[in-house]
Amino acid sequence: MLIQQLTVGMMGVCCYIVACEKTRECAVIDPGGDENQILAAIADKQLSLTSIIATHGHPDHVCSNRLLKEATGAQIVMHEVDAEFFARPETEKFFSVLGLEASPAPDLLVKDDDVIMVGEEALRVIHTPGHTPGGICLYHAPDLFTGDTLFVGGLGRTDFPGGSHEQLISSITTRLLVLPDETVVWPGHGYGGSRSTIGSEKRENPYIS
């Protein structure tokens, strides 16, 4: 599987283009701005965008969903719990202060252990609530896209509506740290670095080690 990491938008989101080398189909994970840069990277590699996947519904991770969908016809994918949570008027009002566009309604709702196909490659959905109620990570061994659940040397904040520190710690320890130590962690922001491994986070992350 091909992986390209881009840093996009005013909040420095780590956006990923993941592609099937055989079919040239790709997915974009967390397009948080700079959609022209994302589309140019897809075109440069002669890929076809089929899915726009949100690890969670915060506007800084989904604000380019509409424009990418309009440009390519790709489906928007989100966990069913976040789709419902971020459609609530009170949630939308709270996050509107960021001045970023919310995602349109998703075309495909997923839940824990579902599989999202990207050409012939399979991304497994791991539900990791805590940062948001429907936060997910995406696993394709040895790669793990963690969104704002787990950073390099850190973890997601839980003081926004729908956040829970206890849930987040449980998600990380019971769903992510059980993966092989060599699993590559691709975070949703590069605060502590652009990538890590599960083994390194077990040993060195001060919030969970």
Q: Please report the beta strands in the chain, taking only residues with DSSP state E, as ranges in sequence order.
A: 2-8, 13-19, 25-29, 48-53, 75-79, 108-110, 115-118, 121-127, 136-140, 143-147, 150-151, 154-155, 184-187, 196-197
Question: Does residue 163 belong to any structural domain of this protein?
Answer: yes
The answer as to whether 65 is a domain residue is yes
| pTM for the model | 0.97
User: How many domains are contained in the chain?
Assistant: 1
Q: What 3-state class would DSSP assign to 199? A: helix
CATH code: domain of residue 78 = 3.60.15.10
Count of beta carbons in the 10 Å neighbourhood of residue 157: 12
Return d(Cα 9, Cα 204) in angstroms, integer.
Answer: 29
Angle between helices 65-72 and 35-44 (to 10 degrees): 40
- Residue 110 domain-assigned? yes
pLDDT in tens, the chain (209 residues): 999 999 999 999 999 999 999 999 999 999 999 999 999 999 999 999 999 999 999 999 999 999 999 999 999 999 999 999 999 999 999 999 889 999 999 999 999 999 999 999 999 999 999 999 999 999 999 999 999 999 999 999 999 999 999 999 999 999 999 999 999 999 999 999 999 999 999 999 999 97
Both structure tokens of 115: 């599989």
Could you tell me if residue 101 is inside a domain? Answer: yes
Q: Which domain holds residue 130?
A: 2-204
